[in-house]
Structure 1
Amino acid sequence: MKAITAKEVEQLVQNQENIRILDVREVEEVKTGKIANALNIPLPLLEFRMQELDKAKNYIVVCRSGGRSGMAARFLEQQGYSVTNMTGGMMEWKGETV
């Protein structure tokens, strides 16, 4: 499974790279702030909503600390999606949130 640091993701966002972020935290957690344009699909719902994702695109998967996003990334990879786990999660994120 591919991994990327929060700092590397922050650089991509600052450079306005065309990246897709999938936030698998619970709705209540996301209310405390999320990375701009991140798509929120809580981990328990991922199996039922993964058709909302495009298999032709790469997604950076994010959660609070990197554990749930790691599980989500492994699951999506097995389903044929191109994903990268953001290690350290939002606890390591220093960039802007919305």
Structure 2
Amino acid sequence: MSVKEISIEELKQKLEQEDAIQLVDVREDEEVAEGMIPEAIHIRMGDIPEKLDAFDQTQEYYIICRSGKRSENVCYYLEDQGYQATNVVGGMLAWTGETKPKL
């Protein structure tokens, strides 16, 4: 079984075209401090199980990390829990768009 995937280019198009997409950055605090995509919310990978109430089973979630491996694992977990999740291939290493510091 594989998870759904989206490229950085496809993600950029979605961010430009859609009002609100559910983008979740699962990197650690020190990684996010270097900058994250402005539309993203930050929930560390290790915190996902206890934060499942922040997710809505009717929404599609796009999961991003540094390179795409941790986000892929989170996608498998979320799908096992009944949520719709798509992995952002290449992660923040491939992101060339705007970032903001996490406050």
Q: Same fold (TM over 0.5)?
A: yes
TM-score computed with the length of structure 1 as normaliser: 0.94
Deviations, residues 48-90 of structure 1 (Å, cap 9, x unaligned): 1121111110000000000000000000000000110000000
**Separation of aligned partners in 2, 1:6 and 1:36:** 14
Aligned length: 98
Gaps of 5+ in 1: none
The residue that corresponds to 1:60 in the other structure is: 62
User: Which of 74, 93, 96 is the matching residue for 2:95?
Assistant: 93
Aligned letter for 1:66?
G
Calculate the aligned-residue CA RMSD, in Å: 1.0
Unaligned runs of 5+ residues in structure 2 are none
* Residue correspondence of structure 1 range 1-98 to structure 2 within 5 A: 1-98=3-100
Percentage identity across aligned positions? 39
C-alpha distance in structure 2 between counterparts of 1:97 and 1:25, whole Å: 14
Where 2:48 maps in the other structure, the secondary structure is: helix
SS of corresponding position for 1:84: strand
